[in-house]
């Protein structure tokens, strides 16, 4: 492979130190740049030159871990939590709890109970803690140490000391009641409860981590699972049921009402409404007509559609956006690199502290048992796991939450940008407005539905954008009747046909005047008023008299007003930049609540506007969807593309809002800021925990069992704190 990218699924990682070792092993290969994510258990590898993936896997295997290549074009289901790990947790807890109870409650201590403790703790220490021992030995063979080394050493030392005390001191004598508490020690104390409790608590913490990681990853898996399994392919005008994956680019397929759109495409025949909630988070179906783009995974909520496939498989919008989320989850925040450097030296440092601390206690007191306990407690209480999970776990959950609502955050550096944004520049067409003509008002001598239905029945076969807007509105209202007979389209003017014995025209007023069609004064005045507000007018005539007019305009999105208000609440100043006329731009700005408007601007003007704001000290975000927005998106400190925009706009952006709901822009900023805040909270806890816990352990104020519980809790705290992001309320 040349200048290639490879994704690897990793096996055997237990802490950030493991991730660092794998990353180092890959980086040692010439031409390889790698990023290893502990939370997702994946490696993202870029290869500059020619190198087989087997060489990458061999390098990982050589340092004691496993790996396999991930096919990003294939859907991979998230495996369940390892059943063996679950069994170890259950058995270890079932044995450790009675061991703790007997050790700490004198009333439960019977003659020879010490031997019962030894019998109960042995399977916990040997079988339950086996993953720690195996990993510690594998790392030791390569001259390395990880969190497993600390746990394994602590458990083994506590257990072996207890066996020694049981056989060679007064602790093993029948009737000897030992002073055993979590915080107290005696000269001949046994520490079976410490060895068992440390094993059980750390295993429980690891099991909870695995469950939370799987839950976070399933947010992305669920996005992939919305796709259709079957499709109806058109073959020589015959409908043939085939697996959805059999559709090729350029094929035409049928989507019946209530069915899932099999892949990305353009509507050739039919009008309907598309429910995109499973993909974009939009709750309101969007009207579509011939020429409209549709995305695979959405649901046809209306009539029968014939669609021509424009992208299949890995090239679909859903697959592309999913890859972007995976890339974001694999990326590392700048602060994570510092954490990785700390984790690399943390375990050897803790081992050294434990040895020095234990030796100091023995020299000072002459109490070997207490000195060993201090050393064991120091080994166990230290937790590089929480440090390693702090950033990737929050990013995993945050990006997964965004994916469920159609928000793609493309990298960790984006999070910092969202925190500092002070100003947001919004494009008008396609961002604040729908970007396509829609019927906004109807007036005339007949009722609205009759005027609309008659116009649609005449224009249903034409391809003019205004005609498509009329047909789409009639379809949405459910009043599109049979097509008129003898329809004749007049390019640039309109269309004429027969409904029964009545000749019906739909088109421009200029055409009506040229054909001597009578136009009532009230309709002419209303049409003039609409035109002054930037609306296009379609007139409808029965015979030689106009009976109604229809106003068509690029309407403001229903979500725009709420979205602008939400941005203001976030302390962000909104500015509108549009290539449209001053009058139309000002009208839209007033409607959505934006005070500062720049109209008649070119793509270069938009970029210059953002550069000018930046020179004045503003941190600027830009929201757009077209080719003309790409330069401005790239110039902005934070580029936000609406997902139905052009490829160049999407590639120039930092955040993608898959839906057309503008409220998701504010949601994207809120979610990014919340994710950044969670990362900082996690790191504060992880660093703070070790800064406090290690000195307390060295001072002899903790027992190993409490240390094991605290260590497990520190990692679980980071996981649960990150999991709060999954419940964050976003627009749905």
- So which residues are the catalytic ones? 427
Furthest-apart CA atoms within the chain: distance in Å = 119
Give the dihedral sign, CA 664/666/667/671: positive
CA atoms of 612 and 606, how far apart (whole Å): 10
Report which DSSP code applies to 241: E
CA atoms of 281 and 298, how far apart (whole Å): 11
Q: What is the CA radius of gyration of the chain?
A: 34
User: CA dihedral defined by 247, 253, 257, 259, rounded to 10 degrees?
Assistant: 0
User: Exposed (0-12), middle (13-18) or buried (19+): which is 634, by Cβ within 10 Å?
Assistant: middle
3-state secondary structure at position 649: helix
What is the CB neighbour count within 10 angstroms for residue 133? 18
3-state secondary structure at position 538: strand
CA atoms of 611 and 182, how far apart (whole Å): 63
CA atoms of 605 and 601, how far apart (whole Å): 5
Number of H helices, E strands in the chain: 24, 26
3-state percent breakdown (helix, strand, coil) of the chain, nearest 5: 55, 20, 25
Residue pair 386/712 in contact (Cβ under 8 Å)? The answer is no
CA atoms of 461 and 467, how far apart (whole Å): 9
Pairing of strands 494-499, 502-507: antiparallel
CA atoms of 473 and 453, how far apart (whole Å): 9
3-state secondary structure at position 356: helix
Tokens 């609540």, residue located: 593
CA atoms of 432 and 662, how far apart (whole Å): 7
CA atoms of 76 and 70, how far apart (whole Å): 9
3-state secondary structure at position 307: strand
DSSP letters, 101-138, are HHHH-GGG--TTHHHHHHHHHHHIIIIITHHHHHHHHH
CA atoms of 643 and 408, how far apart (whole Å): 9
Residue pair 495/458 in contact (Cβ under 8 Å)? The answer is yes
Which residues pair with residue 659 across a beta bridge?
none
Residue pair 1/50 in contact (Cβ under 8 Å)? The answer is yes
The angle at the Cα of 690, spanning 686 to 694, to the nearest 5 degrees, equals 165
For residues 377-405, b (16+ Cβ closer than 10 Å) or e, as one string? Answer: bbbbbbbbbbbbbbbbbbbbbbbbbbbbb
Residue pair 603/632 in contact (Cβ under 8 Å)? The answer is yes
C-alpha distances in Å from residue 405, one per residue of 278, 426, 586, 714: 8, 21, 31, 30
Pairing of strands 252-255, 305-311: antiparallel
Give the dihedral sign, CA 70/67/715/677: negative
CA atoms of 550 and 530, how far apart (whole Å): 10
What is the CB neighbour count within 10 angstroms for residue 148? 26
Distance, CA of 715 to chain centre = 22
Give the dihedral sign, CA 187/192/197/198: positive
CB-side neighbour CA atoms (13 Å) of 31: 14
Q: Which residues contact 360 (CB under 8 A, 6 or more apart)?
A: none
């Amino acid at each position: 492979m040349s200048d290639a990218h490879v994704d690897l699924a990793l096996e055997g990682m237990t802490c950030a130190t493991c991730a660092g070792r794998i990353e180092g092993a890959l980086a040692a290969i010439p031409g390889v740049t790698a990023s290893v994510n502990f939370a997702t258990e994946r490696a993202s590898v870029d290869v500059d030159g020619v190198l087989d993936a087997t060489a990458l896997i061999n390098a990982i295997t050589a340092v004691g871990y496993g790996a396999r290549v991930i096919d990003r074009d294939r859907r991979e289901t998230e495996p369940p939590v390892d059943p063996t790990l679950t069994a170890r947790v259950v058995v270890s807890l079932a044995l450790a709890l009675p061991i703790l109870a007997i050790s700490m409650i004198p009333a439960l201590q019977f003659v020879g109970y010490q031997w019962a403790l030894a019998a109960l703790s042995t399977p916990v220490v040997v079988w339950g803690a086996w993953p720690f021992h195996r990993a510690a030995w594998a790392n030791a063979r390569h001259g390395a140490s990880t969190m497993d080394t600390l746990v394994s050493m602590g458990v083994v030392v506590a257990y072996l000391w207890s066996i020694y005390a049981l056989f060679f001191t007064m602790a093993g004598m029948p009737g000897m009641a030992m002073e055993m508490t979590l915080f107290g020690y005696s000269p001949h104390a046994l520490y079976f409860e410490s060895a068992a409790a440390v094993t059980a608590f750390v295993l429980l913490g690891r099991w909870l981590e695995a469950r939370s990681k799987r839950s976070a990853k399933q947010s992305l898996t669920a996005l992939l699972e919305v796709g259709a399994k079957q499709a109806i392919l058109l073959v020589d005008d015959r409908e043939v049921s085939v697996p959805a994956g059999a559709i090729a680019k350029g094929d035409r397929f049928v989507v019946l009402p209530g069915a899932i759109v099999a892949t990305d495409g353009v509507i050739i025949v039919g009008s309907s409404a598309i429910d995109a909630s499973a993909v974009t988070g939009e709750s309101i179906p969007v009207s579509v007509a011939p020429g409209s783009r549709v995305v695979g995974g959405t649901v046809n909520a209306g009539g029968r559609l014939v669609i021509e496939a424009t992208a299949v498989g890995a090239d679909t919008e859903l697959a592309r956006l999913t890859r972007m989320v995976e890339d974001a989850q694999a990326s590392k925040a700048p602060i994570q690199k510092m954490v990785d450097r700390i984790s690399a030296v943390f375990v050897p440092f803790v081992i050294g502290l434990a040895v020095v601390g234990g030796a100091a206690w023995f020299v000072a007191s002459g109490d070997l048992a207490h000195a060993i306990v201090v050393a064991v407690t120091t080994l166990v209480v230290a937790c590089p796991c929480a440090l390693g999970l702090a950033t990737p776990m929050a990013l995993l959950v945050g990006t997964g939450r965004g994916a469920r609502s159609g928000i793609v955050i493309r990298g960790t550096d984006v999070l910092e940008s969202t925190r500092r944004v002070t100003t947001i520049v919004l494009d008008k067409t396609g961002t604040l407005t729908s970007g396509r003509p829609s019927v906004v008002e109807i007036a005339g001598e007949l009722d609205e539905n009759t005027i609309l239905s008659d116009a649609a029945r005449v224009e249903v076969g034409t391809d003019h954008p205004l005609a498509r807007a009329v047909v789409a509105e009639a379809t949405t209202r459910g009043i599109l009747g049979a097509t008129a007979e003898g329809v004749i389209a007049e390019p640039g003017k309109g269309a004429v046909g027969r409904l029964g014995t009545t000749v019906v025209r739909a088109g421009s007023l200029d055409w009506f005047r040229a054909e001597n069609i009578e136009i009532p004064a009230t309709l002419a005045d209303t049409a003039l008023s609409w035109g002054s507000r930037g609306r296009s007018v379609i007139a409808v005539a029965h015979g030689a008299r106009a009976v109604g007019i229809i106003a068509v305009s690029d309407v403001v999105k229903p979500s725009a007003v709420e979205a602008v208000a939400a941005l203001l609440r976030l302390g962000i100043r909104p500015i509108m930049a549009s290539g449209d006329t001053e009058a139309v731009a000002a009208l839209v700005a007033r409607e959505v609540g934006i005070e500062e408007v720049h109209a008649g601007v070119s793509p270069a003007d938009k970029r210059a506007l953002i550069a000018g704001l930046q020179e004045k000290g503003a941190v600027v975000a830009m929201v757009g969807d077209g080719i003309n927005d790409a330069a401005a998106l790239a110039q902005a400190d934070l580029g936000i593309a609406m997902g139905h925009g052009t490829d160049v706009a999407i590639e120039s952006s930092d955040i993608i809002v898959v839906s057309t709901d503008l409220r998701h822009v504010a949601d994207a900023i809120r979610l990014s800021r919340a994710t950044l805040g969670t990362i900082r909270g996690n790191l504060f806890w992880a660093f703070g925990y070790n800064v406090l816990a290690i000195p307390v352990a060295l001072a002899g104020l903790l027992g190993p069992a409490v240390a094991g519980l605290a260590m497990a809790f520190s990692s679980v705290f980071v996981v649960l704190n990150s999991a709060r992001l999954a419940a964050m309320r976003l627009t749905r």
